[in-house]
Amino acid sequence: MSQVQGAKLQDVHAPILRKFTRIAGTYIAGKLYKYTKITPNQVTLFSFLLNLIAAYFIFVATYPYLILSAILIVFAHILDYADGSLARLRGTGTTFGRWVDMFCDQFALLILFYAAMLGVFKTTGKYLVWVYGPLGLIASLFISLIYNTFLRLHEEGLEEIEKEKEASSFLTNFYYTEFLIFFLLAIACLLNMLNGYLIFCAIYGWIFLIAVFVKLTEKVGYLKRVE
């Protein structure tokens, strides 16, 4: 399978939409490298700013603003791929740059989630949104914790996870990651279904969390037996 320049290993068995965003991000990075002096960190911060604007539009919660927020979320995610490609083109990739990128991604996810909850509460007055609303975000954080812990315990952990994805088209397309969460939010904004989005994330996120925990626990147990 051919790989886009700068693609990460976890993108090899990624859904088509994710591959498209990487191709678009790589294209933008090439243009920025050729025609500007913009740095990767500046791209990262601009992407974060777009997410902040999108969060405000979601909080406003009127349909025209939701459409704008969907566009901004998608473009911000494309830029999230562009910054890494630009760093490689310029040869300026640093640990600090990766730290800023990861911090901005996590903080943007937090802000967008709570903007969605505020938007739903503002338009419906449902206090229950403060119960199920955070669950999808919490599930995402726990999945990241389990995932990263597994990688620290097993030096070939990433390859093991990719084998699982390769064997399952469901895992390939519906792994509960930031990518899926961001793009489902964009779709929810286009369809004016923020409340349904939060409910879906709460249910699906925790089902996926339990499944990931059980599967990786089995793998850790197997690795312990073969050591």
pLDDT at 9 over 50: no
Q: What is the pLDDT of residue 71?
A: 96
Look at residue 105 and tell me if it is in a domain.
yes
Q: What is the pLDDT of residue 193?
A: 95
pLDDT at 194 over 50: yes
Mean per-residue pLDDT of the chain:
84
Look at residue 120 and tell me if it is in a domain.
yes
Query: pLDDT digits over 180-189, tens only?
Result: 899 999 999 9
Of these ranges, 100-109, 186-195, 213-222, the one predicted with the greatest mean pLDDT is: 186-195
Query: pLDDT digits over 64-85, tens only?
Result: 999 999 999 999 999 988 988 8
Look at residue 216 and tell me if it is in a domain.
yes
Percent of the chain with pLDDT over 70: 81
Q: Which helix (H) or strand (E) holds 37?
A: none
Q: What is the dihedral of CA 176, 100, 98, 211, to 10 degrees?
A: -20
Q: Can you give the residue range of the structural domain that contains 134?
A: 13-226
Look at residue 1 and tell me if it is in a domain.
no
pLDDT at 116 over 80: yes
- Please, what is the Cα angle at 100 between 69 and 171, to 5 degrees? 65
Q: Please state the domain count of the chain.
A: 1
Look at residue 5 and tell me if it is in a domain.
no
Strand, coil or helix: what is 156? coil
Look at residue 108 and tell me if it is in a domain.
yes
pLDDT at 161 over 80: no
CATH number, position 120: 1.20.120.1760
Look at residue 129 and tell me if it is in a domain.
yes
Query: Sorting pLDDT into bands at 50, 70 and 90, what band is 49?
Result: very high
Q: What is the pTM of this model?
A: 0.84
Q: What is the pLDDT of residue 187?
A: 95
Q: What is the pLDDT of residue 212?
A: 84
| CA diameter of the chain | 58
% helix, strand, coil for the chain, step of 5: 85, 0, 15
